A and B are shown apart, each in its own frame.
Chain A
Amino acid sequence: MRTRLVTVLLALITAILVIPGPAATADEQGGETLQGQIRNPDDRDQGVEGITIQVFDGEDETGAAETDPEGNWVVELPGPGTYRVVVDQDSVPAEFAVRETAILVDGETEVEVEAGDQRPLIIALESAGGGDEPSGTQSPSDADSETPEDGDAASEEGDVAPASGGTFGSRFIQLTAAGLLFGLVIAISAIGLSLIFGSTKMINFAHGDMVTFGAMVALVFSSGAAGMGNSLLAIFAGLGGAILIGALLETRLSRTALIVAQWSSIVAGIALATVLGVLGDAVGWKVPLWIAAGIAVVMGAVLGASMERYLWRPLRRRHVALIQMFIVSIGLALILRHVILVLFGADRSRYAGFQIQEVVRLGPIAMPPRDLVIMGVAVVVLVLVACLLQFTRIGKAMRAVSDNRDLAESSGIDVDRVTLYVWGLGGGLAALGGVLYGLNQVVQYEMGFRLLLMMFAAVILGGLGTAYGAMVGGIAVGLVAMLSTLWFPSQLMQAWALALMILMLLFRPQGLLGRAERVG
């Protein structure tokens, strides 16, 4: 367990190191350098200071550098060529050791530097004594590895299996519980995706980033909102006001009055946002997480509805083809994700106050209370959504539009309005999914995209366009992903979920609950 934790942690450090990704930088001009950042393996926000890195050309030392307090180091090179890089083992603090990798052996490596190359070199540390094996082999778990820190090591591959000790039976039960939790989170986020597909026949690639948005907003308001949070809130209040005016008063006001009212709402929101932004930290406030989650859900709904109202509806009116709409949604996803990155930063953070909790034992299942709350909330919300769809007028209309848009329109349903509500509902649920996922894991700007692939698997498994299918599919995907870690490396859990999706496409492309129709 220890070695696996370290491996996962290192993977994570590297993931942070490469953000925003070397592919984005084209060739740059300038002198040749070698550079990198050495981080503390125990706390990845901290660099390690004072490690000396020497660069040799043959036997001559051409340069050396010492890491600064953030762990950064840069060595300027005289020109292109092959260099030998040596990490001075004596300068590494005693509690760490340099991690052996395929590239770095015994603190030494040969590097080939091209002309104009500013080459990053990854040097990773590990806790001294722990983890001699680089691969994720499983060693008997230590007593202290069962702390909630486990979740902290959630890496790019997904989550770390919550339990690795004990007998097969107890691990099975434990992982089933974890899978159910994961599945419920996927299901909540995926309902919107499926309903949106049903009512507009469009795959919303930006859905994952709506999930991230919810998690980030809840984080901001629960950890103390200042200038930026207030401004965001004001803008969304303006947008929400405009959409509400449009939806509720459409039939009662004249067209001009409606447009004036909507735009004045938006302008007022922006003006208020500017004022609050200028005031900055003067208007600071903080709410408990559950209120912040409520705000996030409302803002997520406004985000979804305003995307429909101000982007998708005009595009549909222009008769933009569906493929083009997919591409627009991908563009939108890129914009959303990186605006979120700029606004909230690339840090991985968690909701304060829920990290370390006493584990509650329910028979063979051990879970922190926060996970129980997540599951409870998820189940209640799923039941509520099912009731909404099954028994209310608007819910029935949603299902009707989802089933057959043209038929619904010809039988007198206001399809545009229903679509607007579907987007609102989808956005709100996505935001809630984000809060729950962030509570269980970490909040990070790419979390939504990772969940998006799981959501795709869920909606295809359950049947594209059916809300109940997304629920069933989500839980199935969560269970498969978690239970696969019983036999296979946890890094592959997403792969198994997606393999399940591909199997489904082979044998029953309409999904579990989808109606058989020609899809090819």
Chain B
Amino acid sequence: MDILSILVESVRSALGPIAAIYALAAIGLNLHFGYTGLLNFGQVGFMLVGAYGVGISVSVFGLPLFVGFGVGLLCALVLALLLGIPTLRLRADYLSITTIAAAEVLRLVYRAGFAEPLTGGVYGLQNLAGDFRALNPFDPGGRYGIGDLTYTGAHLWTMVVTWSLVLLMVGLTWLLIHSPWGRVIKGIREDEDAVRSLGKNVFAYKMQILVLGGLIGALAGCMMAVHQASIQPDQFKPQVTFFLWAILLLGGAGRVFGPVIGAMTFWFLMNFTDGLLKYLGRDLGLMPFLDGPDYGALQLAFAGLLLVLLIVFRPQGLIGDRKEMLINVK
């Protein structure tokens, strides 16, 4: 492992399927936070219901994959309604607490013993991607790419599909935000009371955006299920949401391409710091006080540090507009 191969590895993951999936989920979060100012700290809950919608339909009931996608999206719709009805009328901080709690409760329910016949409990579900892989036009074992930067056919197929979905959703976001509906949405972010006094039903608009962003999050969850072909509930820990926040703020909240740029940069940085730490620690032996699992922990601490530094020094992220990000909770 040298610096060059660390760089190649980082670029690989910046363009890879995981980055694409996170970009997709962050687009949903961008609709929530970037455009409407909703503090959703439970985006991972939407991903979880999406992934398990696919998982349970395909693995337990043997239904085709597209039904699984439908079930996942439907679950996300129900979840958004359940979360929104009690909290969207209240102040933003109540939504943040409820969403973070709901996502964690969902994970606990899905991994609980009594749910095992359906969800596989802590062991999760597997063999989910048969239909998806059958459509793969590339050779699953072959390597595609330029120079050292190569992907297997299976990964390339996931990347093509997921990045296409990302572009689709970016286009959708752009169209929505530049519509009259989108102007109301941004108005809610700036001043909810002013919008209300203009006779708009703020609650309904917030609910629509919560559902829409949740559906996009669930789509990301579905793609995660088919990418890995297996899911475990512990993949959906709250830190996934925090990664999504880091991605959104890094790219620039309230910008159409913010989540995409953010996801690429975030995974590049994560892999680069991790690779560098391991290179310094394991190959050069400069950090004798660290052992195996500590590197993963440091990576997560780094994500936290990134969040803090971004907010303090560059709240608008890479491509954001500082004026747009001066949101106040009222």
Which A residues have a C-beta under 8 Å from some C-beta of B? 4, 7, 10-11, 14-15, 18-27, 29, 79-80, 101-103, 110-112, 114-116, 122, 134-136, 156-157, 201, 203, 205, 315, 318, 320-328, 330-339, 341-342, 346, 449, 453, 456-457, 460, 464, 489, 491-492, 494-495, 498, 501-502, 505-506, 509, 519-520
Within 8 Å by CB of B234, from A18, A201, A489, lies A18
| 17 A-B contact pairs sorted by A residue (CB < 8 Å) | A20-B297, A26-B18, A102-B117, A115-B140, A115-B155, A136-B113, A320-B315, A321-B329, A325-B311, A328-B308, A331-B303, A331-B304, A331-B307, A335-B308, A338-B301, A342-B297, A519-B90
Q: Inside 8 A of A318's CB, which chain B residues have their CB?
A: 312
- Residue numbers in B under 8 Å from A325 (CB-CB): 311
Chain B residue nearest in CB terms to A115: B152
Alpha-carbon gap, A1 to B64, bound state (A): 39
A112 vs B198: C-alpha distance in the bound complex, in angstroms? 57
In the assembled complex, the CB of A184 is this many whole angstroms from the nearest CB of chain B, namely: 21
- The smallest C-beta distance from A24 to any residue of chain B, in angstroms, reads 6
Cβ–Cβ contact B239 & A498, under 8 A: no
Interface residues of A: mostly helix, strand, loop or mixed?
A: helix
With A336-B304, A456-B97 given, can you name 13 additional A-B contacts, CB distance below 8 Å?
A20-B300, A24-B300, A322-B329, A327-B307, A328-B311, A330-B242, A332-B308, A334-B307, A341-B293, A489-B112, A489-B113, A505-B94, A506-B85
A332 & B304 in contact (Cβ 8 Å cutoff)? yes
Chain A residue with the shortest CB-CB distance to B17 = A27
- Tell me the complex Cα distance, A428–B220, Å: 41
B contact residues, total (Cβ < 8 Å): 88
A14 touches B101 (CB 8 A): no
- For window 87-142 of B, CB contacts with A under 8 Å fall at 87, 89-94, 96-98, 100-102, 104-105, 108-109, 111-114, 116-117, 120-123, 125-127, 140-141
Contact B234 A328 (CB under 8 A): no
In the bound complex, do residue A491 and residue B87 qualify as a contact, i.e. CB atoms below 8 Å apart?
no
* B12 x A22 contact (CB < 8 A): no
Write out the residue numbers on chain B whose beta carbons fall within 8 Å of the beta carbon of A18: 232, 234-235
A333 to B303, CA, bound (A): 11
Give 8 nearest A-B pairs by CB, closest first: A334-B304, A331-B307, A338-B301, A136-B113, A20-B296, A115-B152, A491-B112, A335-B304
B39: chain A residues within 8 A (beta carbon):
323, 326
B182 on the interface (CB 8 Å rule)? no
Main secondary structure of the interface of B (DSSP, over half): helix
Chain B stretch 1-28: residues in CB contact (< 8 A) with chain A: 9, 12-13, 16-19
Which chain B residue shows the least CB distance to A99?
Answer: B123
8 Å CB contact of A327 from B105, B123, B249, B290: B249
Q: Is B245's CB within 8 Å of the partner chain A?
A: yes
Known: A134-B113, A346-B293, A453-B104. A328 touches B123 (CB 8 A): no
**When the two chains form their complex, are residues A460 and B122 in contact, meaning their CB atoms are under 8 A apart?**
no
Q: What is the bound-complex CA distance between A380 and B18, given in angstroms?
A: 51
